[in-house]
Amino acid sequence: MRAGNLGDILYIGKKLRGYLFGTACADALGRPVEHLTLEQIKNKYGEKGILELPPNSPWTDDTQLMLVLARALLRGAELKFPELMDKIAEELVLWLDEPDLGAGATTRGAALNLKDGIHWSNSGLNSKTCGSLMRVGILGFIFRNDPEKLIKAASISGRITHTHPVSEAASLAGAYAVKLALDEVEPREMFEPLLEVTQGISQEFTQALKSSYKTAYSDIGDEEGLKKLGQGWYADETFALAYFCILRYPNDYKKAVQTAVNITGDSDSVASVAGGILGARMGIDAVPALWIEALKEKEKLEEMVGLLLEKYFQLSGSKLRS
C-alpha cells in the first residue's frame, strides 16, 4: 500500500469487505423473489418469507454493475472528470458483452448509446428507475475522504445512464450514505446530511426521504411501513425503503436485509442498498458467514478488495498531500 499503516489497512479492509459482501449477499437473497408479491413470497417460503441464502446463490445486475463502476475507478479514480467519465463509459460498453443478469432497459439503452458513439454527456435516458443508484455505493468508498469529488462523481456518473432528477438525487444519497457509514455515522444521524447533499435536486426524492425517516420512527409495523413507502422500482422509493430498513435495524445487518427482501417490489435492489450501507458501517463481521460461503463467484469480490484498497490509500495519500 502506498499510504496507511497496517492497522488502517486492516480496519478499512474490513469495512470494504463489509460493503462488497454486504451488497452482494443482500442482492443474492432478493434475486429469487424480485418479481413476486409478498403474498407469493410467503406462500413459497413461509409466513416470515425468504430468510436464508441457499448454496451457490448468484447476484444480479445490481452487483454486476457496481463492479463495472469499480473497475472504471481502478483505471482512473485519480483523473479529472472528463477523463474519469471516459473510463466509466468504456467499462459500460464492455459490460454489454457480459452475461445478462437482469439489467433494466435504461442502463442497457444508455450503454448501447455509448457503443454507438454517443458521448457520455448525452447517453443517458430520462428515467427515474434505480439503475444508477445501484452501482454508486462504491464511490462512497473510493472518494470517502474527498466529499466534493464524491458528490460530483455520483451526480455525473449517474447521468451517464439516468438523467431524471429523482435518479440523480438517489444516486447522490446512495453514494454519500456509504461514505457516512464508513465514517461510522449512525443511520439516524445520516438523515440531515442526506437531506443537505440532495437539496434542491428533486422534490419527489426529498419527500420520499422524509417519509422514510418519519415512517421508521412511527408505530407502524415493518410490513405496512414498507408498503406505504412504495415498491422500489423508482429510485426515490428504492432508497426510501432501504433507509427504512436500516433505521429499523441499525445494528442488525441480517434482520435489515431480511426485512428489505420480503416486499412486493424490487426486493434485490432495496436489499442491496440497505446491505451495502450497513456492511460498510459495521464491517465484514456483521455479514453472516454462511451467506458469504453460499455466494456464487465470491472470489471475484475478494479479488477486488486488494485493488480497491490500493486505490483508496493512493487517493487518500494524494488528498493529504494536496
Other Cβ atoms closer than 10 A to 314: 17
Give the cell for residue 37. 408479491
User: Does position 142 have pLDDT exceeding 60, yes or no?
Assistant: yes
CA dihedral 312, 187, 24, 171 (to 10 degrees): -70
Residue 120 grid coordinates: 457520455
| Predicted structure pTM score | 0.96
Tell me the C-alpha distance between 70 and 213, whole Å. 30
- Copy the grid coordinates of residue 79: 483523473
Query: What confidence score (pLDDT) does residue 67 get?
Result: 98
- From 122-126, 185-189, 303-307, 315-319, the region with the lowest mean pLDDT: 315-319
For the chain, list the domains and their CATH numbers.
6-321 (1.10.4080.10)
User: In angstroms, rounded to a whole number, what is the distance separating the alpha carbons of residues 145 and 317?
Assistant: 10
pLDDT in tens, 170-217: 999 999 999 999 999 999 999 999 999 999 999 999 999 999 999 999
Query: What mean pLDDT do residues 303-313 have?
Result: 96
* 162 DSSP β-pair partners: 125
Query: What cell numbers appear for 210 in the block?
Result: 422524509
Backbone angles phi, psi at 295, to 5 degrees: -75, 125
Confidence of residue 4 (pLDDT cuts 50, 70, 90): low
pLDDT in tens, 285-300: 999 999 999 999 999 9
Q: Which residue has the higher pLDDT, 5 or 64?
A: 64
Could you report the per-residue pLDDT of 50-78, keeping only the tens digit for each? Answer: 999 999 999 999 999 999 999 999 999 99
pLDDT at 317: 76
